[in-house]
Amino acid sequence: MHWIGRRAEDKVRKVPRLALAVAMLFAATAAPAEELPRLESRDGHHALIVDGAPFLVLGAQVNNSSAWPAMLPKVWPMMNRLHANTVQVPIAWEQIEPEEGKFDFSFLDQLLREARANDKRLILLWFATWKNTAPAYAPAWVKLDNKRFPRMLNAKGETHYALSPFATSTLEADTRAFVRLMEHLKTADPQNTVITVQVQNEAGTYGSARDHSPEANRLFAGPVPEAVRKRFGKGPGSWTALFGRDAELYFHSWAVASYIDKVAAAGKKVKPLPMYVNAALPSDPFVWQDPNTYASGGPAPAVIDVYKAAAPNLDWLSPDIYNPDHKAYLGFLGQYARKDNPLFVAETGNARHYARYFFAAIGRGAIGFSPFGMDETDYFNFPLGAKALDEATVAAFARNYELFAPMQRVWAKAAAAGKVWGAAEPTDPAAKFAQVLNLGRYTATVTFGRPQFGVDPPKGNPSPSGGVAVAELGPDEYLVTGFDARIEFARAEGDKRPLLFDRVEEGHYDKGQWVFLRRWNGDQIDYGLNFTGARQVLRVKLATYR
């Protein structure tokens, strides 16, 4: 991989005029394949490659009904205040194909133009067969025609609100529209302003673990497809025989995942952008939950492996995390940060206390993070998220992105090598306002709610706001940054050699280059490295004298 140095915006490349003219001609017709955004995974670590190098999505998602031309002036100011580099925007099936076979991409064209003018990348959210499990965003000619596009049946044989994943008519219509969308992107977006596409939104179904239509019943009684049973190391058998309690959940997840995979595969044939789906999570990451009580069939933690078997065209599965509890939040991050699945927090609450989880996410190698409902349309999904986007709430998220924007490439490269760690301030008393990072040769203890000077024990910040991020840049050398926290380094257990700072430099990154500002020494290092609300980035070299 030749990541550094290939980025258009980081380096002005000297290209002969003729070559430039040829390249521009080429760019006008098709994106050069190697420059398409893509996911790269190596040794269980991941990078979203954008413009040829690892890219950290400093994202934000607009409200559901903000994807209209008249709303965009209320979107960009917020995105700029946030220092976001990527905006997630719905593209609704009903909006692009209001009448069957007649397509309208005028909103998308305007969105592309305005995103470029605001220096933002885009992640499009395909709201179609499933949006929070329902077909509300399917065009009227789909959602009102239950004969041609049948809904599921529940266990009692009653019509359920969600569309059946077994209806080929629905799959074909959704796929046709999605393909048209990708065709439009192929010609209208040669510069890949759109870096990724989410296919459907919170798929699955509430209130019925699976479809009970005749076709669904027939398949449920039949054998488990080979790809699924092999993933679980099982021989041939029925869903009930192989998966017992989870049979209906796994079956429905396989059905929904297979459907989405076909839509994604058809879209990728046109323009192979990274594609993913997002999960409406069960309430607790640590206990088994009856699939009748959450969005059964969606990419929930319990069925990640079913999705991996059924949907090879999805580059990753994402959690939508609206549980503010520290333990639960880290639990969900852990479930999606896998060797075979890059962590991308596709949605999270926009209340202030969620902002610090940015550090926990990127410290687990996340390729992106994105609070939901970030625009100035005056809608707030309280109590799920913030009551209002007041200055302090926006600032809580904005400071993270402002800190990372100049060095997101440096960070993403370290993440791709598996050399990043992070902590978010805990609230559960058992954690004692401390988090320990295992850096391999060292440990780092992060504490919250202490003065910058002295050894007063951590009390936690007045409201949980602290976070720290650490990246290994070279032997014994770390990039360290954060807010409202103290970090102290120690040698890993068993290593008795003394530890001291060779040097602690404060500075910042400019186009990938470190710019030195000053050294920290004396009071500034005697009680750990203390971060306040100030934007401070450190390069720390650890050493011994024996």
The least distance separating ligand DGJ from the CB of residue 377, rounded to whole angstroms, comes to: 13
User: Which residues 6+ apart lie within 8 Å of 379 measured at CB?
Assistant: 63, 65, 373
Alpha carbons 7 and 255: distance in angstroms, whole number: 40
Pairing of strands 500-510, 86-92: unpaired
Measured at CB, which residue is nearest to ligand DGJ?
381
| Matching residue, tokens 């014994």 | 476
What residues contact residue 4 under an 8 Å CB cut-off, 6+ apart?
53, 409, 413, 512
Is 38 or 131 the residue whose CB approaches ligand DGJ more closely?
131
Which residues inside 311-330 make contact with ligand DGJ, applying CB under 6 A? 320
Question: From the list 38, 64, 192, 528, which residue makes contact with ligand DGJ (rule: CB under 6 A)?
Answer: 64
Buried b (16+ CB within 10 A) or exposed e, 195-231: bbbbbbbbbbbbebbbbbbeebeebbeeebeeebbee
Q: How far is the CB of 320 from ligand DGJ (least distance, A)?
A: 5
Closer CB to ligand DGJ, 132 or 238, in the complex = 132
- The minimum distance between CB 57 and ligand DGJ, in angstroms, equals 17
Structural Rg of the chain based on CA atoms: 24
Shorter beta-carbon distance to ligand DGJ: residue 174 or 347: 347
- Residue number with CB closer to ligand DGJ (202 or 246): 202
CB of 534 to ligand DGJ, least distance (A): 33
Residues 360-389 that bind ligand DGJ (CB under 6 A): 372, 381, 384
Over the window 190 to 219, marking each residue x when it contacts ligand DGJ by CB under 6 A and - when it does not, the resulting string is -----------xx-----------------
Are 320 and 276 a contacting pair, CB within 8 Å?
no
CA distance readout (Å), 428 to 329, 433, 444: 12, 8, 20
Q: Which is nearer to ligand DGJ, 82 or 537 (CB)?
A: 82
Provide the minimum distance between the beta carbon of 485 and ligand DGJ in the complex, in angstroms, as a whole number: 30
Least separation in angstroms between CB 335 and ligand DGJ: 18
347 touches ligand DGJ by CB under 6 A: yes
Task: Count the residues of the shown chain that bind ligand DGJ, applying the rule CB under 6 A.
Answer: 9
Q: State which residue, 276 or 433, has the beta carbon closest to ligand DGJ.
A: 276
| Pick from 201, 220, 222, 199: nearest CA to 211 | 220
Give the β-pairing of 344-348 and 316-321. parallel
Residue 62 or 209 having the CB closest to ligand DGJ: 62
The full DSSP string for 417-471 is TT-EEEEE---SGGGTTEEEEE-SSEEEEEE-S--SSS-PPP---SSS--EEEEE
Restricted to residues 114-143, the positions that interact with ligand DGJ (CB under 6 A) are 132
Min dist CB 84 to ligand DGJ, Å, is 17
Per CB under 6 A, residues contacting ligand DGJ are: 64, 132, 201-202, 320, 347, 372, 381, 384
